Each structure stands twice: as structure tokens, then as C-alpha cells.
Amino acid sequence: MKPERNTNKLAWEEAFDRVDSKDLERVLEQLKHDPGSFLSETMKRELGALAGQDRSVAQFCCNNGRETISALSLGFKHAVGYDIASNMVDFGNAMAEKLGVEARFIQTDMLELETHERYDAGFLTVGSVTWFDDLGLLFKRIAHAIETGGCLVIEDIHPIMNMVAIPGEQNYEKNHPNNLVNDYYRKEPWVEKDGMFYMAKQVYESHPFTSYSYTISDMVNGLIDAGFAIEAIFESSTDRSAQFAHLNDSGIPLTLVVRARRL
């Protein structure tokens, strides 16, 4: 594994260790009472159209497994989640057992994924694509795991938002929060050491998280090169990342959804 990805593994595991256990209990309760509720309406619509009692679904970069189990509830026979963080995968497996659902979780670096399984549907949710220095290779690994004719649905931060500073960043301007302050074509990685706030609910000195900017063409061409046909693209002005909620409905595309079919 490349050193940056190994450090990301440590950083994500550290973040998960800092999650309040009450938050994790709430995840379990929410899955019991409203199982689909961890997915956006768009993702529910997209995955719901692919579901069936003889069909399987996989989530790549699944975190604690809540979205994978949500997807299962849309009507798939079984679900598998992949993530680099061992403790998240362990938590996902324990949660699936408690809920008695057909979901399994597997630890892997997505860029090293090798599986004999072929899923009818695959998905990536917000905050997944940014961890890969080689998006083309990510999509090739995923393509290998999707059945011919099956679909991959990606819902992630709109690439244009890499140009906008997040509150708390040095170049964030409170009075002009939508200023385009970063290079859209940025190649050098982002390295952050102040924790994963949305999980730990606190800022802390953490192992470094290394992430990368990507452009729309990186995504579209990466999918095409990997053997997918793009079927639909949706852009929305609703933030799903908890980083740009202050820009909701301000005329800026915050979230990008792509449906791609495996040829």
C-alpha cells in the first residue's frame, strides 16, 4: 500500500475510535426504525431502480456500514461494504449481525481490491472519491467487481467545490464564502492533520489525511476508460458533505450524481 494510503488508514481508524458510542447506538436504532434513511432521496431513487431480490449491491468506502445497510433495505438480496478502516468494518459486521441482515463488510484498500464477486449495483457516497490519487485505477477496480450490465452510482461533492474554501480554512472569507480561491486543476495533494470533525465532533491533532482534487473530466473519462457508459448526470445545489451547507440553494452546484453502466 502506498504510504499516504496507509496513513489515511490510520487517520480514519483514529477518527472512528473517537466517535461517541452514543452516536453509534443511534445509528443502530435509526437502521431498525427507518432503514433507508441514511441515503439521499436521489441515491434511494437510483439504487431502488436497480434493486431486486436476486440482486446484490456493494458500497465502496462504506465507513461504518450505515449506508450499505440502508441500500440493502431498498430490496437487494445482499449487500457488501468495503472500507480501508478495520475498526469500521468490524463495527459494520457487528451491526449487521445485531440487525440480522444480509450485509457483510470487508477491509481493503480500494486501489488493491481484488474480488471474484460481481455485484449488480455499486455505489460511492459523499466524501469517497477524494482519497484516490489515481481515479482511473479506482474505477477499474470497481468495474471489475460489477456485473456486465450492472450500474455504479456515484454521489459526491461537485468537483467545482474544490475551488471554494471550507469555513475554518485559511483562505475562507466569511463575507464572500463562494469565492473561487483554489485551482480547479490542482495536482498536489491536500494534507490535513486536524481530525475528521464530522465523525469525532471535535478538532484534534490527528494522523495526516491526504486527499486529492478531481475534475469532472477526471471522473467521466476515468469511468469511460474503466469500461462504463455514462447514463445520467445530476447536479444539485444541496450539500451532502456537511462542509458547504451555508451555500445551499445559492446557485452553486454542490453535489454531483453520476449513473454509469458496466459495458
61 touching ligand SAM, by CB under 6 A: yes
85 touching ligand SAM, by CB under 6 A: yes
Least Cβ distance, residue 111 to ligand SAM (angstroms):
6
83 touching ligand SAM, by CB under 6 A: yes
| Single residue of 47, 58, 74, 126 touching ligand SAM by CB under 6 A | 126
125 touching ligand SAM, by CB under 6 A: yes
Least Cβ distance, residue 174 to ligand SAM (angstroms):
25
Asked if residue 74 lies in contact with residue 102, where contact means CB atoms within 8 angstroms, the answer is no
50 touching ligand SAM, by CB under 6 A: no
**Which residue is listed with cell 459494520?**
92
The contacts found for 239-248 with CB under 8 angstroms, 24 or more apart, are 240/40, 240/125, 240/126, 240/155, 240/157, 241/126, 241/127, 241/157, 242/198, 243/157, 243/161, 243/166, 243/167, 244/157, 244/161, 244/164, 244/166, 246/167, 246/177, 247/164, 247/177, 247/178
18 touching ligand SAM, by CB under 6 A: no
As a whole number of angstroms, the distance between CA 238 and CA 192 comes to 25
H helices of 100-237, in order, are 135-144, 197-200, 216-225
Give, for 116, the enclosing helix (H) or strand (E): none
Specify the residue, 46 or 83, whose C-beta has the smaller distance to ligand SAM: 83
Stretch that binds ligand SAM, among 29-37, 44-52, 127-135, 228-236 (CB under 6 A): 127-135
The phi, psi pair for 217, rounded to 5°, reads -70, -35
| Single residue of 8, 68, 162, 210 touching ligand SAM by CB under 6 A | 8
110 touching ligand SAM, by CB under 6 A: yes
3 state SS of 143: helix
109 touching ligand SAM, by CB under 6 A: yes
Stretch that binds ligand SAM, among 17-25, 73-81, 97-105, 126-134 (CB under 6 A): 126-134
| Single residue of 46, 57, 63, 89 touching ligand SAM by CB under 6 A | 63
Specify the residue, 92 or 150, whose C-beta has the smaller distance to ligand SAM: 92
Q: What is the contact surface with ligand SAM in residues (CB under 6 A)? A: 5, 8, 12, 61, 63, 67, 83-85, 88, 109-111, 125-128, 131
